[in-house]
Amino acid sequence: MKAIVKKEPQKGFSLVEIKEPIINSPHDVKIKVLKASICGTDVHIYKWDDWAKNRIKKLPQIDGHEFVGRVIETGSEVKNVKPNDLVVGDSHIPCGYCYHCRNGNMHVCQNLQILGVDRDGVFSEYTVLPDKVLLKIDDSIPLQYASVMEPLGNALFTTTVADLRGKIVLITGAGPIGAMAIEIAKISGASFIVVSEVSEYRIKMAQKLGANLVINPSKNSLVEEIDKLTDGLGVDVFLEMSGNENALNEGIKSLKNTGVASILGVFPTEKINFDMNTAVFKNLTIQTITGRKMFETWYLAASWLKYKKLDLSKIVTHNFDFMDYEEAFELMSSGMSGKIVLNFSQ
Neighbours of 145 (CB within 10 A): 23
Which CB, 3 or 148, lies closer to ligand NAD?
A: 148
109 binds, among Zn ion, ligand NAD, none (CB under 5 to 8 A by kind): Zn ion
98 binds, among ligand NAD, Zn ion, none (CB under 5 to 8 A by kind): Zn ion
Q: What is the Cα–Cα distance from 143 to 36, expressed in whole angstroms?
A: 9
CA angle 316, 138, 126 (to 5 degrees): 70
Q: What is the Cα–Cα distance from 308 to 300, expressed in whole angstroms?
A: 12
Q: What is the Cα–Cα distance from 198 to 203, expressed in whole angstroms?
A: 7
The distance between the two most distant Cα atoms of the chain, rounded to a whole number of Å, is 63
160 in active site: no
The least distance separating Zn ion from the CB of residue 105, rounded to whole angstroms, comes to 9
Q: What is the Cα–Cα distance from 25 to 38, expressed in whole angstroms?
A: 28
Stretch that binds ligand NAD, among 24-32, 124-132, 162-170, 236-244 (CB under 6 A): 236-244
Q: Are 13 and 63 spatial neighbours (Cβ–Cβ below 8 Å)?
A: yes
CA angle 3, 35, 76 (to 5 degrees): 80
Among the listed residues 74, 127, 144, 242, the single contact to ligand NAD using CB under 6 A: 242
Q: Which residues between 74 and 133 bind ligand NAD (CB under 6 A)?
A: none
Q: Which residues between 78 and 107 bind Zn ion (CB under 5 A)?
A: 94-95, 98, 101
Q: What is the Cα–Cα distance from 137 to 12, expressed in whole angstroms?
A: 33
259 binds, among Zn ion, ligand NAD, none (CB under 5 to 8 A by kind): none
Q: How far is CA 178 from CA 133, 175, 182, in A?
A: 24, 5, 6
Residue at 78: amino acid letter: V
Closest-CA residue to 149 (of 86, 209, 240, 213): 86
Phi and psi torsions of 296, nearest 5° = -55, -50
41 in active site: yes
The interface mask with ligand NAD, positions 271-310, x = CB under 6 A, is ------------------xxx-------------------
Which CB, 81 or 194, lies closer to ligand NAD?
A: 194
The least distance separating Zn ion from the CB of residue 106, rounded to whole angstroms, comes to 6
Query: Does position 265 bind ligand NAD by CB under 6 A?
Result: yes
95 binds, among ligand NAD, Zn ion, none (CB under 5 to 8 A by kind): Zn ion
Active-site choice (27, 44, 65, 318): 44
Neighbours of 276 (CB within 10 A): 10
Query: Does position 161 bind ligand NAD by CB under 6 A?
Result: no
Query: Does position 175 bind ligand NAD by CB under 6 A?
Result: yes
3-state helix, strand, coil in the chain (%, to 5): 30, 25, 40
338 binds, among ligand NAD, Zn ion, none (CB under 5 to 8 A by kind): none
Q: What is the Cα–Cα distance from 74 to 339, expressed in whole angstroms?
A: 30
Query: Does position 23 bind Zn ion by CB under 5 A?
Result: no
The least distance separating ligand NAD from the CB of residue 13, rounded to whole angstroms, comes to 19
Active-site choice (27, 41, 74, 92): 41
Interface contacts to ligand NAD, rule CB under 6 A: 40, 154, 172-178, 196-199, 202, 217, 241-244, 246-247, 264-266, 289-291
Interface contacts to Zn ion, rule CB under 5 A: 94-95, 98, 101, 109
Residues with catalytic roles = 41, 44
